[in-house]
Chains A and B, each alone.
Chain A
Amino acid sequence: MNIILVLIPLSLILLAAGIWAFFWGVNHAQFDDLDTPALIPLADDPPPVIARREGDGAP
């Protein structure tokens, strides 16, 4: 039974690591928008506005 003296603190350390990672994710905007990123790969091409602005920029 002494193994729990090792395993439980270990699980707590992992838990703390997990929470730290989650906080990092939240602070870095990983959870701000859960819907839009899923749609990004479905979009076709970059909007033509950008392409044209590049063309205009070069005299």
Chain B
Amino acid sequence: MSRTCFHCGEAIPSNVALSARLNAGVQPVCCIGCQAAAEWIVTLGLGDYYRLRNVPAERAVEAADYSAWDRPQLQRLYVHNLADGGAEVCVLVEGLRCAACSWLIDRALRDLGGVRSVEVNPGARRVRIIWTRDDIALSGILHRLAQLGYLPHPCSAQALDALDQREARTALKRLVVAGLGMMQAMMYAVTLYAGAFEGIDPATRDFFRWIGLLVTTPVVVYAAQPFFVGAWRELRARTLGMDTTIALAIALIYLASFYETVTGGAQVYFDSASMFVFLLLGGRYLEMRTRRRAADVVDAFARLQPALALRRRMDGATETVGVHELEAGDVVVVAEGATMPADGTLLGKACEVDESLLTGESTPRARRRGEALIAGSMVRSGPVEMRVAHVGADTVLSSIVRLIERAQTERPHAAVLGDRIAARFVGGVLALTVLTAAAWLYVDPSRAFAASLAVLVVACPCAFALSVPVAYLRAASALARIGVLMPKSDALEKLARVDRIVFDKTGTLTRDRLELVGVDVAAGCSINECLRIAAALEHGSSHPFAAAVREAVSSERAIPKAESLQTIAGAGIEGRIAGRRYRIGRADFALALSAGATDDDNVVVLADERGALAHLRVRETLREEAATAIDGLRSQGLDIAMLSGDSDARARGIAMRLNITDFRARATPEAKLHALEQWRRQGAVVAMVGDGINDAPVLAGADVAIALGGGTQLAQSSADLVLASDRLDAIPAARALALTTLHVLKQNLYWAVAYNFASIPLAAFGFVPPWLAAIGMSASSLFVVLNSLRIVAQRPSTEAQAPAPTLAEAVPA
């Protein structure tokens, strides 16, 4: 006697001796795939399936081999190593569509030993997994996903594109089939309605009904497929979702009409069925477009990294290698117009690079020899050579992509809450439908079907479930466009509630450099002469002041040669030019050669043996956009404050230039934290802006931490918002956006709730025919999606307030 497979029912070849261990005992199976599927279904506690089913399952496809993912060369591109032996990967999952899927995946993966955390985002079809390397291999995790029937894909640009393309094409085909089918079905329906009033002979009526059935069948079988698949998923996961109600409604309308056609009954609803499918697909199509537009930003990031690089060999010749083969220390050649394959430092002459996709800044930036280049930036003048420093997942680009992906994978509280309410709501709707049907059967059986159908259709909580994710996705993409990344999904909500914004001074309001604002020369000296002497003395110095002086003297040829230069730390520099001794630095140091003088942080004195030659007044360079940003925030009604660890005079100077009245100088990190705490205790919601690295502990003490981006430390930053554009004026724009988003979100939710509460009673009492219910439900979903499209970021104006003219511009060399 030939044995049959327990799972798929096919005959088991005689040379196979596999069995599945199930609760009910050991059962023979035909292949690994079926074994896995059967064991899996029972492990999930769904073993009843085997008792209840009357048709064997599809033969499960054996999961592909994922061991290639364990190769270090491949992992380096996709896997991010954590400090404690853990690793993080983002996987694109095919067939992931709804909250039930994410529940299934979440539970299945968490059961694996070694998997620390799983975060599933059905909207972006991404799963972020953190696991311990020693306990489980990446291939094992991917294998488990494949076993579930969700095919995992590497999160690379190509896979993303192909999947997107296939999804978009299929959606378009379904939409058009549904649309054309709907038009035809409605035409025939008009004939039938007219016939019902004017009289029609039964043969013609039946002819039109059969034709209607003919055009509606592909709409239901092909176009409506996603809803049935989704409902099946929800059923398997034992949750209730929107797809269940939709699939139920479509199937009910279609089957009832089918029955009426065959038996020559009273009424057919083919037009309603196809319209329902078309309108729903239309809503989903729009949602998909919105979602993809939001995901485009991430895709653009992912696509930035080229697949191949030109590496210079030891003998000087170049060879083309895959980017994943690059290692730190390699020298690569990047042609003009090409993108950097890895992070590194520039070798050879200066060049211009376009980092717009990373920072939102469209003007090319100049990079000098030895300066850092970032993977993904485009070379505007080349070719250039660079020495590779970081590759793959360690690059800045990768960390930015990871930040965005994390933001996408983490679902905001509001969305989680929405899902939970929706599931409960669906249960209520189903109960209400049954109740309506029962009541009408008692009162007027002929209207029972139409009324209960209307309840089912009109009450579908699509709008409710859509409102939160669409608004958030839209906001995240709008933020990314102005160069603001949102690693924490709740940041938006908190940002909207902020009423006090605190800036760190150094590195945040100011840049790490000084500028020369004036030179007071002693009688008989020329400004240019003094500046040249100063520049000569400061020639080799790395002090910010030296850079300021060098900047002021634009022509380097005029600088004389200084000899026996001596740097006295914390005081200044002494040197000899053309036989004369000069000193530059703090007044007490410089004038020690002659007489004493006053002490001021902001004045540097140039002196020779006879006395002061010049007082050079310097000040910290403000960020160009600082003033506009602060004005913008103030006009939004926020209190502005500044905390600085610097001296009182410096802090006061900056505060006065920016019109900030509330500032604290000489603040230690503890004092800063204390100040934040004090404000918070007074009831203020405080946002703190800092440069992310030095200010990390202080940032953690604020309600909303905003870090200025750039640099590799980005990935470690614990900030709620990261200004990747490195521009402060993105803050007012981001806050305005947060306010709009919350506003839109509230509107969406009110609308969804109001619509459902208003329409359900009407439908239950039989005032709403099924076709009107279909229009109402789809219109409310469309309203939510279109309303969310209003969330658009106002790009901060690029013309920041012109900085006060510095000496470099004022004085000819």
Contacts and interface: CB of A to CB of B under 8 A. Distances in A.
Given A1-B204, A8-B211, A32-B165, A19 B172 contact: no
A23 B204 contact: no
A5 B206 CA distance: 13
Interface stretch (B176-184, B264-272, B616-624, B660-668): B176-184
A19 B169 contact: no
Contacts of A5: 207
B180 A23 contact: no
Contacts of B215: 12, 15
Interface string A1-19: 1001100100110010011
A27 interface: yes
Contacts of A43: none
Nearest to A49: B337
Given A1-B204, A12-B214, A32 B180 contact: no
Contacts of B172: 26, 31
B168 interface: yes
Contacts of B176: 19, 22
Residue from the set B169, B214, B337 with the largest chain A CB neighbour count within 10 Å: B169
B349 interface: no
A31 to B, nearest CB: 6
A1 B207 CA distance: 12
A18 B336 CA distance: 47
A23 B211 contact: no
Contact of B180 (A4, A8, A15): A15
A51 to B, nearest CB: 13
A8 B188 CA distance: 10
B173 interface: yes
B214 A26 contact: no
Contact of A22 (B173, B207, B336): B173
B263 to A, nearest CB: 22
Interface in A7-59: 8, 11-12, 15, 18-19, 22-23, 26-27, 31-32, 49
Contacts of B207: 4-5
Interface string B198-225: 0000001001000100110000000000
Interface string B364-387: 000000000000000000000000
A26 B173 contact: yes
Contact of B169 (A1, A15, A27): A27
B214 A32 contact: no
Given A1-B204, A19-B180, A31 B211 contact: no
Contacts of A8: 211
Contacts of B173: 22-23, 26
Contact of B184 (A15, A22, A26): A15
Interface in B157-179: 165, 168-169, 172-173, 176-177
Given A15-B215, A26-B169, A49-B336, 15 more contacts: A1-B204, A5-B207, A8-B211, A11-B184, A12-B211, A12-B214, A18-B180, A19-B176, A22-B176, A26-B172, A26-B173, A31-B169, A31-B172, A32-B165, A49-B337
Interface of B: 165, 168-169, 172-173, 176-177, 180, 184, 204, 207, 211, 214-215, 336-337
* CB-CB nearest 3 A-B residue pairs: A26-B169, A22-B176, A26-B173
6 contacts: A11-B184, A15-B180, A15-B215, A19-B180, A22-B176, A31-B172
